Structure 1
Amino acid sequence: MLRRTLLSLLAGVSVAALACVPAFAQSDETNTLRLMTFGGEAQLKATQDAVTRFNEKYPNVAVEVGIDPVGGGWGDFVSRVLQQYNAGEQYDIYHTATETLQSFAARNMFLPLDDFIAAHDTFDDFDQRLFELTAYKGKSYFIPSTWNNIMVNYNRALFEAAEVPFPTKEWTWEEFANAAQKLTVRDANGNVSQFGYEVPSFFFGLMPWFFSNDTSPITADWTASNMTDPKVKETLEYLYSLIHEYKVSPVPGQEGIENQFFAGQIAMISRGHWIVQNAVSSKLDMDVAVQPAKVNHNTVIGFGAYGISSKTTKAELAEALVLELLSPETQQAEGELGGAVPGRKSAAETAGFLAFPPSAQLYYETLPDTLAVPSPANFQEVDQIVMRYFTAMMAGEVTIDEGIAQADLELKRSFQRIARITQ
């Protein structure tokens, strides 16, 4: 469904309270809260159920839920939220993601939540590393909810048919390329009917290849370009070889890649836990593996987080809704419905969450080997610059040396601009 159509169907949905006899004192406060979340059906269902529980305590508070599928990426999402604020049409609560946090916090768009977090021991169930990643200049403006780390998702049946051993926790770039070649199937004319892998065409999915080579397109402190690092070139050359030398991947940027994976036409893709619900509905014999290593097995992490608008006039009411949105019930539902990985450790240890894929425990096991997706305050520009030149390099429209030089120049200019805003 097109993003515009989905938004028109879901934005402004009012979730009413269930008729029940509560076992606690109800509030008689009358008001309206507006919540913007993101994701698909699993996220929407868990959110609606959380709002229903909230309305058991606050029966006279209408909650308007908008959901954004973020089809155009987080840079586009940032632009839409900025437009909402400029037009005075902002929501009271936003469920957003790592890539946006500095962009929003640097512009004072959300309330600091340190006192709120400290006042509720319920947050002790969350991995503290997630809270560390939400900090901006020593303050927390967002509370983590669910998260994704990019894993190699693979079709077990295709591995078995090609007699390729399942990936181990120690596999390397070289072993990955060998497996991808054996998993690529061609007809008598040499046309590919089954690709071994899909080189990612989105910023978040691409980062593990740089991280596993101990590098990144921007510096570790997210303040400058790192495109001229020789390891960046080495990583780009490796991915280019998968496409053009080994011919195990389509050129990045094609439509319907995930559908091809679910249909058994691609053996491996790099994605997060968000594809589990579609894998289940497709009856795909899928499992997950760690990122192959050049230097290490590091992968990328990104997470959802709730923030309360600095322009809201209903901060305490918004806090009460956020507590329900982060409750154990909501966290367990989001994980078991096949959305992202729950921030609460207890919710990721249930039988329902661990039931699929077979190696579901790897999501939390690999958490120590994750690095946050680079998300500077100018993320929307960084995303566009890196991916524009990456796509051009992988398509052979520019050489890797030319793409690196041009991307480096544009990134330097972007960081100069954002420095004038945030200093």
Structure 2
Amino acid sequence: MRRRFRSPLLLSLALAAGLAFSGASFAQSQESASLRLMAFGSDAQLTAIKHAIARFNQKYPNVKVEVAIDPISNGWGDYVTKVLSQFNAHNAYDVYGTAIETFRTFETRKLFVPLNDYIQKNPGFSDFAPSLFQQASNQGQTYFIPIGWNNIMINYNRALFKAAGVEYPKQGWTWNDFRETAKKLTVRDPAGNIKQYGYEVPNQFFFVQPWFYSNGTSILNADWTGSNMLDPKVTESLQFLHDLIHVDKVSPIPGKDMLDNQYFAGQIAMISRGHWIIENAIKAKLDMDVAIPPAKVDDTTVIGFGGYGVAATSQHKELAEALITDLTSAETQKEEGELGGGVPGRKSAADSPAFLKFPPSAFLYYQTLPHTKPVPAPANFQEVEKIFIRYYDAMMADEMPIAEGVKRCHEELEASFKRLAAKKE
């Protein structure tokens, strides 16, 4: 579930216990302890987390919870590096919020405890979409409790569609439909300078995956143990995106920064993002909606999701599990979803009128869930992401022919997987 924000942020929040509460909500435990929680996200996540901890402290008033929240400004690869350094320095947190991009990396290093028994004792988790637990499990063990998720959709500015006299995207639209729509939504001044782009070709690993999935392919093989870059359909997908930039000129060349602000300002009509963008869209009062990504072979899109895990080094594993119970509760899921965080893992929270109110087609998030595949997230994700993006950027910038780019990318990915296999021997 790759996500980035405009500026780095690391907030530390100490929520002390000692809340006043009536006899009806008298504490269930007088145990004294301190827990440290490393979470990720933005204001929507932080607000919901604070309220979840307040509910936890009603049951455990003598447990102090210290929170650090990371906005994932530099991607999940850097987050992995940070977490590994904390474990190596014997300074790990008790509970970590993380994402599917990191699961295999952490699992292979046995940094977190299996939660199978904990899950079996909590029938309330049946409210989650079953596929989330399936995708969060590896070799029969579940180390992370799913929370919010994001599938990449086409987010579009309805006002710009209206101004151009273009119909809103319909279910079942194709790559060709998308291309023609992007052309109609690209606006130039009398001198030929582009004032409004029809689309932003993605600059992020997570965001670009639907263009492979919807063409019946992927950059990695099915079990994430090797490269699939030499598949002609991978080249076809990259060529399509390249042509949007250099032939149709409906998109700028992907750069280091994302163009969310330009989208909010009405300078870009369509972008590929997850539900997290809704938080800022609401603040900007943007007249927008979401559409299922267009299909070449089918309309499969990518999914990424977060989860909470208990560090193997925690001295308070039962308390950590109790904290996760509140962090993944229906109340927390509902609040985060309505504030514009990820799509709630609990279906009941996603069915709330407040969540479905905006964008107008919010129901499509869950409708597309059966047609998603997880973002490629092998144990060497840090290397895979960097290798792919380096060649992807070069190909999209016309600095390297696509044929050469896919070949060299394939070779580097294969070398990375060989190093990974050697470490396991």
TM-score normalised per structure 1:
0.97
Q: Which residue of 2 aligns with 1:348?
A: 350
Deviation, structure 1 residue 22: 4.8
Task: List per-residue Cα deviations over 1:238-271 (Å, max 9, x = no partner).
Answer: 0000000000001011535000000000000000
Gap runs ≥5 in structure 1: none
1 CA distance for matches of 2:219 and 2:128?
30
Are 1:15 and 1:52, in contact at CA under 8 Å, matched by a contact in 2?
A: no
State whether residues 35 and 92 of structure 1, in contact with CA within 8 Å, keep that contact through their aligned partners in structure 2.
yes
Q: 1:163 aligns with which of 162, 165, 170?
A: 165
**Which residue in the other structure is 2:142 paired with?**
140
CA distance in 2, matches of 1:362, 1:422: 41
Residue 199 (structure 1) aligned with residue 208 (structure 2): no
User: Conserved in 1, the CA contact under 8 Å of 2:17 and 2:62?
Assistant: no
> SS where residue 39 of structure 2 aligns?
strand
In structure 1, the partner of 2:417 is: 415
Given residue 21 of structure 2, which amino acid in structure 1 is its aligned partner? C
2:31 paired residue number? 29
Identity across the alignment (%): 56
SS at 2:306's partner residue? strand
Q: What is the total number of aligned residue pairs between the two structures?
A: 420
Going from structure 1 to structure 2, the CA distance change for 1:183 and 1:108 (only over 3 Å counts) comes to: same
Whichever residue aligns with residue 183 of structure 1, its letter is L
Q: For residues 207 and 149 of structure 1, what CA distance do their matches in structure 2 show?
A: 10
Find the aligned partners of 1:155 and 1:166 in 2 and give their Cα distance: 9
Partner residue, 2:183: 181
| AA of the residue aligned to 2:193 | N
Stretches (4+) displaced over 4 A: 1-4
Match of residue 248 from structure 1: 250
Partner residue in 2 for 1:122: 124
CA pair 339-406 structure 1, distance change in 2 beyond 3 A: same
Structure 2 residues without counterparts, runs of 5 or longer: none
Residue 14 of structure 1 corresponds to 15
Q: CA deviation at 1:2?
A: 7.0
Give CA deviations for 1:76-134 in whole Å, capped at 9, x if unaligned.
Answer: 11111011111111110001001000000011000000111011101010011000001
Distance 1:181 1:47 in 2: 42
Distance 1:61 1:251, change over 3 A: same
Q: Partners in 1 of 2:422 and 2:412 — Cα distance?
A: 16
Q: Residue 17 of structure 1 contacts residue 52 of structure 1 at CA under 8 Å; is this kept in 2?
A: no
Distance 2:26 2:34 in 1: 20
The answer to whether the 8 Å contact 2:26/2:58 transfers is: no
Deviations 1:320-351 (A, max 9, x none): 00000011110110111110000000000000
Q: Is the 2:209–2:375 contact (alpha carbons within 8 Å) kept by the matching residues of 1?
A: yes
- Using structure 2 for the length normalisation, give the TM-score: 0.97
Shift in alpha-carbon separation, 1:205–1:288, aligned structure 2, 3 A: same
Cα distance, 1:419 vs structure 2: 1.3
SS at match of 2:308: strand
1:320 corresponding residue in structure 2: 322
Range that drifts further, 230-239 or 19-28: 19-28
Q: Does 1:285 align with 2:287?
A: yes
Structure 1 residues 222 and 402, CA gap change in structure 2 (3 angstroms): same
- Going from structure 1 to structure 2, the CA distance change for 1:22 and 1:284 (only over 3 Å counts) comes to farther
> Given the alignment, which residue of 69, 86, 89 partners 1:87?
89
Equivalent residue of 1:205, what SS?
helix
Contact 1:15 1:65 in 2 (8 A): no
> 1:224 Cα deviation (Å)?
0.3
SS for the counterpart of 1:177 is helix
Q: Which of the numbers 78, 81, 84 marks the counterpart of 1:76?
A: 78
Match among 366, 369, 377 for residue 367 of structure 1: 369
Cα pair distance change 1:2/1:31, threshold 3 Å: farther
Does structure 1 conserve the Cα–Cα contact (< 8 Å) formed by 2:301 and 2:373? yes
Task: Map 1:26-65; keep pairs closer than 5 Å.
Answer: 26=27, 27-65=29-67
**Structure 2 residue matching 1:103: 3-state secondary structure:** helix
SS of the equivalent of 1:342 reads: coil
The equivalent of 1:270 in structure 2 is 272
Q: Kindly report which structure 2 residues correspond to 1:93-104, keeping only aligned pairs within 5 A, or say none.
A: 93-104=95-106
On the 8 A contact 1:30/1:61 being kept in 2, the answer is yes
Q: How much has 1:276 moved relative to structure 2?
A: 0.3
* Matching residue's letter, 1:194: Q
C-alpha RMSD of the superposition: 1.2
Note the C-alpha offset of 1:3.
5.2
Provide the secondary structure at the position in 2 that maps to 1:36. strand
SS at match of 1:376: coil
Match of 1:154 among 156, 160, 185: 156
Of 217, 220, 235 in structure 1, the residue corresponding to residue 219 of structure 2 is 217
Structure 1, 54-63 or 12-21: larger mean CA deviation: 12-21
Contact 2:16 2:63 in 1 (8 A): no
SS in 2 for 1:204: helix
Decide whether aligned partners of structure 1 residues 187 and 64 sit closer, same or farther in structure 2, where only a CA change above 3 A counts.
Answer: same
Q: Note if 1:108 corresponds to 2:110.
A: yes
Q: Per-residue deviation at 1:135?
A: 1.0
1:21 Cα deviation after fit = 1.5
In 1, the alpha carbon distance for the partners of 2:39 and 2:422 equals 31
The aligned counterpart of 2:341 is 339
Q: Is the contact between residue 106 and residue 422 of structure 1 (CA under 8 Å) also seen in structure 2?
A: no
Give the match's secondary structure for 1:110: coil
Aligned residue for 1:145, secondary structure, equals strand
